[in-house]
């Protein structure tokens, strides 16, 4: 009887130990996540400040270009030339940022592609979205179909025995 009470006491200690370990692990994870969040917040603020400074630097450069052009042109024409130059730069940068910029627009190429054929070559190694799951392999022969090079048996039960 005393041994059972002793085991109950140990079971209570085990439960307390598990609860304590869970609390310590939870606090450690919270502290780590707080530290990572603080670092990421600081990095984001620095990137935002860098972007704002670059924006003001670009505005100052555009102003300098406009003022330089205004020496030989009327003010409105200098502003128009500066705006056109910035528009062209924005268009070029947008085109460089697009992933499909290297490929010409095919228009209605999907209508010209035969069914079952993938436009641009082969299927990707993994599906879009980055899950990393590969497509299943495609068998060379339809499952269950007899081998084209095999000798055809006159008895249809032969095929049933081969399939089992």
Residues 80 and 101: their CA atoms lie apart, in Å, by: 28
Q: Which of 123, 159, 148 is nearest to 138 (CA)?
A: 123
Q: Which residues of the chain have pLDDT under 50?
A: 101
Residues 85 and 64: their CA atoms lie apart, in Å, by: 13
Q: Mean pLDDT over all residues of the chain?
A: 75
What predicted TM-score, i.e. pTM, was given to this entire model?
0.39
Residues 42 and 49: their CA atoms lie apart, in Å, by: 11
Residues 11 and 9: their CA atoms lie apart, in Å, by: 5
Contact by Cβ (8 Å): 81, 69 = yes
pLDDT tens per residue across span 52-81:
999 999 899 999 999 999 999 998 899 999
């Amino acid at each position: 009887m005393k041994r059972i009470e002793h085991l109950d006491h140990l079971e209570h200690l085990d439960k307390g130990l598990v609860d304590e370990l869970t609390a310590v692990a939870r606090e450690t994870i919270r502290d780590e996540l707080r530290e990572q969040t603080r670092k990421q917040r600081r990095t984001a603020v620095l990137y935002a400040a860098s972007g704002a400074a670059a924006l003001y630097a670009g505005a100052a450069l555009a102003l300098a270009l406009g003022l330089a052009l205004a020496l030989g042109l009327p003010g409105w024409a200098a502003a128009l030339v500066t705006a056109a130059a910035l528009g062209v730069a924005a268009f070029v940068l947008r085109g460089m940022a697009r992933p499909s910029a290297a490929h010409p627009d095919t228009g209605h190429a999907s209508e010209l592609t035969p069914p079952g054929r993938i436009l641009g070559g082969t299927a990707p190694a993994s599906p879009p979205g980055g899950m990393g799951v590969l497509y299943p392999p495609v068998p060379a022969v339809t499952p269950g179909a007899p081998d084209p090079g095999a000798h055809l048996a006159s008895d249809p039960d032969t095929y049933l025995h081969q399939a089992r």
